[in-house]
C-alpha cells in the first residue's frame, strides 16, 4: 500500500473524527481526542511551555487516516515521569545538545497506553511500523538528539526493542480486582492485621466528612474551582509549578464527564479535598490529588480505598495509582512494570545509555519481586 504521512502541530489539525477512529478502539481516555485537545487548547501543553505538537497522521491511498501518533517536540524533560535528566546533563557537559528532543507520550500523564494508534480496519503492525519510521525520519530531519516513547504497551515496547530502540523498565503500583463483589470481599483477601489497619484508617478519615464520587452531570464548575485549588496547593508544595491550567479541567469536564470520577470530601458543605480519576474500558486511573485541610488518612481514603470501591462497583479489572510510594503496597496496590523506549542518534551517548539500561532492567525486576514478597498485604494462604 501507499501511505501519506503528515506532521501536524495540533491534534485539532487532524480532527476529532479521524483521531478517535484510531484512538477510541483502545478504550484509553488519555489518547482520546478530547483529552489531548484539552491539553493543547487550554494552554497546558503548548510551545511556550516546551510542548510543541508534531503529531503524526498516516493516510491510505483514499486519504482516510488509518493511524495517528501523539508526538511532541520537547524543550525540556518536565512533565514526562521517565527521567532522562542525567542523560541530558552528561551529553551537554560533553558538548552535545540534548534539547529539543521528540517524545511520543501523553502530557503530564505517567499511564501505560497505546502510542501507535491504528484504525480497526488497518493492520496494526503495519501502521505501527509506518508511524515509527516516520517518527525516526522526523528525528533526522529536525536534527534532534533523540526520540522517546514513554509508557507504551508491553507489545509496543517489545516491537520497539525489535526495531533497535533502547528499552527501559520502571515500576508503578496497581490494584487488581480478584473478582470482588464488595470492598469487604477485598479486605478478606488481606492479612488480619492489614484488615484492621485499613478499617481504622477509613473510620478516622471519614469522621465528620461527607465523601462523594462525582461523575457525569454531577460534576459542576464549582467542583472544578475547588479541585483546581487543591491541585495548585499540592503542586506548589511538591514541585513548584503545576502544569495544568484551570481551563484544562473545564474542558475535560465538558467533553469527558462520563469518563471522570471526581472523588471529593466536604466538611459542612465546603469541599476540602479531592482526587481526580479517569475511567478506561477496564481500568480506573488515579491522577491528581489535593487538600486544603490536613485530615489523617484522607489521602488513602480518597485516592486508594474509594478508588477500589468504585472499581468493584463498576466491574473494572484494575486501579492504577501511578509511581512512587511504597505505602501503596500496604493498601493492596502491588508493584508492576512500566516501559519506555529510546532512540538516541549520537553513538557517543547511545552506547553508555544502552549499558546503563542493560543493568537497570534486571535491577527493577528484582525490586518488584522483593517488594511484592516482603510487603504484600495479601494472605499467604491464598497463593
| pLDDT tens, residue by residue, 82-107 | 999 999 999 999 999 999 999 999 99
Q: How far apart are CA 338 and CA 331, in angstroms?
A: 20
The two beta strands, 318-320 and 283-291, are: parallel
Which positions ≥6 away from 174 have C-beta within 8 Å?
Answer: 318, 319, 320, 321, 333, 334, 335, 336
Instruction: Give the chain's domains with CATH numbers.
Output: 4-171+337-372 (3.40.630.30), 178-316 (3.40.630.30)
φ and ψ at residue 318, rounded to 5 degrees? -150, 155
What span, in angstroms and rounded, lies between the C-alpha atoms of 228 and 226?
5
Dump strand ranges (E) for 46-165.
Answer: 51-53, 55-59, 65-69, 71-74, 101-104, 117-118, 146-150
What is the DSSP code string of 56-79?
A: EEEE-TTS-EEEEE-EEEESS-TT
Write down the pLDDT at residue 237.
Answer: 61
Residues pairing with 51 in the sheet: 74
Using one digit for the tens of pLDDT, what is the confidence trace for 315-356? 999 999 987 788 999 999 999 999 999 999 999 999 999 999
217 grid coordinates: 452531570
Sheet holding 210-214, edge to edge: 51-53, 71-74, 101-104, 146-150, 334-344, 166-176, 318-320, 283-291, 270-279, 260-267, 210-214
Written as nine digits, the cell of 134 is 516516520
For 376, half-sphere exposure in the C-beta direction (CA atoms, 13 angstrom radius) is 19
CA distance 107 to 42: 13
Query: DSSP string covering 13-42, please?
Result: HH-HHHHHHHHGGG--GGGSHHHHHHHHHT
| Below-50 pLDDT ranges, the chain | none
pTM above 0.85, yes or no: yes
- The pLDDT assigned to 235 comes to 66
SS3 category, 364: helix
State the helix-helix crossing angle for 221-238 and 246-255, rounded to 10 degrees. Answer: 140
CA 138, CA 125: separation in Å to the nearest integer? Answer: 20
CA distance 300 to 263: 12
Residue 232: how many CB atoms within 10 A of its CB?
A: 15
Q: Which three cell numbers stand for residue 341?
A: 523506549
CA distance 188 to 217: 34
pLDDT of residue 325: 84
CB–CB of 189/181 below 8 Å?
A: no
112 contacts: CB under 8 Å, gap ≥ 6: 151, 152, 153, 172, 320, 338, 339
Vertex 252 angle, CA 250 and 258, to 5°: 120
| pLDDT of the residue at 236 | 61
Amino acid at each position: 500500500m501507499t501511505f501519506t504521512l503528515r506532521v501536524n502541530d495540533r491534534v485539532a489539525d487532524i480532527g476529532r473524527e479521524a483521531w478517535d477512529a484510531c484512538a477510541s478502539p483502545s478504550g484509553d481516555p488519555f489518547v482520546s481526542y478530547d483529552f489531548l485537545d484539552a491539553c493543547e487548547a487550554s494552554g497546558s501543553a503548548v510551545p511556550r511551555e516546551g510542548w510543541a505538537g508534531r503529531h503524526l497522521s498516516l493516510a491510505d491511498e483514499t486519504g482516510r487516516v488509518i493511524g495517528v501518533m501523539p508526538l511532541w517536540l520537547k524543550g525540556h524533560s518536565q512533565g514526562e515521569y521517565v527521567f532522562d535528566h542525567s542523560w541530558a546533563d552528561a551529553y551537554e557537559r560533553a558538548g552535545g545538545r540534548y534539547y529539543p528532543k521528540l517524545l511520543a507520550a501523553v502530557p503530564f500523564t505517567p499511564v501505560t497506553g497505546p502510542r501507535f494508534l491504528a484504525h480497526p480496519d488497518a493492520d496494526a503492525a503495519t501502521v505501527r511500523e509506518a508511524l515509527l519510521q516516520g517518527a525516526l525520519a522526523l528525528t533526522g530531519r529536525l536534527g534532534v538528539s533523540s526520540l522517546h516513547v514513554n509508557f507504551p504497551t508491553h507489545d509496543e515496547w517489545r516491537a520497539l526493542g525489535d526495531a533497535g530502540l533502547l528499552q527501559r523498565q520502571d515500576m508503578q503500583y496497581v490494584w487488581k480486582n480478584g473478582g470482588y463483589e464488595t470492598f469487604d470481599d477485598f479486605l478478606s483477601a488481606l492479612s488480619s492485621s492489614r484488615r484492621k489497619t485499613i478499617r481504622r484508617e477509613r473510620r478516622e478519615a471519614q469522621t465528620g466528612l461527607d465523601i462523594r464520587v462525582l461523575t457525569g452531570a454531577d460534576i459542576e464548575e464549582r467542583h472544578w474551582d475547588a479541585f483546581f485549588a487543591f491541585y495548585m496547593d499540592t503542586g506548589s508544595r511538591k514541585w513548584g509549578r503545576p502544569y495544568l491550567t484551570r481551563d484544562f479541567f473545564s474542558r475535560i469536564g465538558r467533553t469527558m464527564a462520563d469518563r471522570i470520577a471526581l472523588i471529593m470530601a466536604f466538611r459542612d458543605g465546603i469541599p476540602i479535598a479531592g482526587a481526580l480519576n479517569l475511567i478506561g474500558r477496564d481500568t480506573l486511573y488515579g491522577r491528581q490529588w489535593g487538600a486544603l485541610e490536613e485530615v489523617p488518612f484522607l489521602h488513602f481514603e480518597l485516592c486508594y480505598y474509594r478508588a477500589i470501591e468504585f472499581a468493584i462497583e463498576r466491574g473494572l479489572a484494575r486501579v492504577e495509582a501511578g509511581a512512587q510510594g511504597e505505602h501503596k503496597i500496604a493498601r493492596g496496590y502491588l508493584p508492576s512494570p512500566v516501559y519506555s523506549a529510546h532512540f538516541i542518534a549520537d553513538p557517543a551517548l547511545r552506547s553508555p545509555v544502552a549499558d546503563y539500561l542493560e543493568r537497570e532492567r534486571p535491577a527493577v525486576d528484582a525490586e518488584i519481586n522483593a517488594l511484592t514478597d516482603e510487603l504484600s498485604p495479601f494472605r499467604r494462604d491464598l497463593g
